[in-house]
Chain A
C-alpha cells in the first residue's frame, strides 16, 4: 500500500458530512433540545449528547474480567450455548463477545498493558460506510449500533471494523433477554447499553461492574457536557484513541497507554 492510500482525505469526509447535515436539516428543521429523564425516552435522541468512555488502562487489573462478565449478563451473551460437535477452538473464535480483554506488551521495555477492547463508537464509523442495507448506523447521540431488522448478515462491517469489535451470531438463539433481542444471522456489538440510555440511567453495565470491583477504570458519560465525569477525566489526563491514524474520532478513549 502506498503512502497516498494510507492518508485520510479529511476534505472528502467533511464534504460528505456537510451534505448529510444539509439533508438532515431539510428533513428535520425543528430540533428540540432534549433532557435526559428517568422515564422512558419520549422524544427522539439528538446530537446535543455524545456518549463516550475513558478507560484508564493503568487501573485495569490483570486477570479481572468484571466488565466482560457484566456485559455478558446485561446483554444475554452468557446464555450462548456451544453447538454440538463444535470444537473449543471454533467456539472461542465464533462466540459473540462485545468486550475483549486485550494485553499489549512493549517488546523493548516489557511493559504489559490491559486494554478492554469494545466498539469504539467512532464519529466516522467504517462499519456504517460499508453496510449495504443501512442496518449499521450511528444514532444521533453517537452510539454506533446495528438495526437487526435490516441486517442481512453479510458481515462487511466486521471486515471494515479496525477494532474487531463485532460478532456474528451463527446459531439459533434459544434464550434472549427482553432488553437485548438477538438472533441468528445478524451482526452485533457494544451499543453502550442503549436500553439504559433510553431510560435515563447514568452508566453502563461494564462501568458499574468495574467500579463495583474497586478499579474505577471505566468512566462513562456525555462527551459534549463539559461538566460530566468523562469530560473532566479527559481534560485531566492524557488520553489516546486506538488507531488514531485513521481519524475516526472514537467515542471510547484510553489513558495511560
Chain B
C-alpha cells in the first residue's frame, strides 16, 4: 500500500479541566467535536458540503454517548456520510479508526474520511452512560482492584521484578515528556518537573505514582484523510500513512497466563514497519500511547529499540527528547498533555502530523521524515491492554 492515503487536515482544540472557578472553558463533548471537525476541514480546504457521501469516523466517548452514537454525531454536525465508523477501542481509538478509514478509502468506497474524537470527561452533565467490562464489575471491583491504577501498578511491578527496572527509569519518561509539554502551547500541564519531584510524588499503587499516570481533560481532535489523488491538491503538505498494523486480545506466551510486560504493539509495529518497508532505526520519532509511563517503556522494547527487559537501561542511557537519538512523545504525550477521554490517541496522531509537516516549532525533530504512532486501549483481564495498533506516517 505504502502511502496511498494521507492526512490532509487536523484540528486540536485547547484542553480544559473545566474549572470555571479558575476561568477555564466549560464545554460539552458535542461542542468539542464540532470545534475539532471545523478546524480540520478548514486546514484541508474543505467544507461540510464536501463531506456528503463521504466517511465519518467517531470515537465512543466518556460522556455522552448513546448506544447509537455515531449517527447522533452525524446529525449534530449536519453531515450526510455514506460511511460511519464508530470506535470503541479506548486508547487505541485514533489509530484503529485511521486504519479502518484508510482501508475504506483504498477500497474506493469513499474519497474522504473525517475522523474525530471529542470528549468531556470533566463535565459529565448527567449520568455517564458507558459501563465497564463485565470482568471489572464482577471480578475486579468487588475484589478490591482500582481498575487502571491497580493494573498499571501490577505491570510495572512485574517489569521491575523480572528485569530489574527501577522507578527512576519510569521517572525519566515522565520528566522528558514534561520538558516537551513545556514547549507545546497546546499541552495542559506545563509546570517544571524534575526527577526529584517525580520521586516525591504520591504513590497510588506501588510502584505507580501520580506522575506516572494521566489525568483527564476535556478536548476535541480531528483529522481529515484522503486518497493520494485528492491529497496531492490539498493546501497543507499531505502526511502519508505508509504502514499500519493492529491486533486485539494479544497474549505473549500462554494465553491463560501471558507475559504482561509485552504488549500487542510488538505485532502491530512489526506489521506496520514491514508494510512501510522500514526498520525501527528509520523512525525519526515515536508517539507512543502513554496512559502510564510503564506502557511507554514496554513499547520501546516491543518496537525493537532494545531487547525485552532492557527498556529501563535503554531509557537511562538514551536521550528521548526531540533533539535526542530516539525522540519520544515530543508534544508531552498524555502524561503532560492530559487525556481527553476516549479521544486520547488523537493527541499522538496530531503531534506526529505536526512533526512531519515541520510545524513543531521549538520542539521540531530535525528533518523528520517518518514516525510511528501507537495506540493501546482497554484493560484486559490478567494481561495488559486489549487493543493495540501502530501507524507509520511519512512525508515524501
B is bound to A: no
Residues of B within 8 A of A (CB): none
Interface residues in chain A, defined as those with a beta carbon under 8 Å from any beta carbon in chain B: none
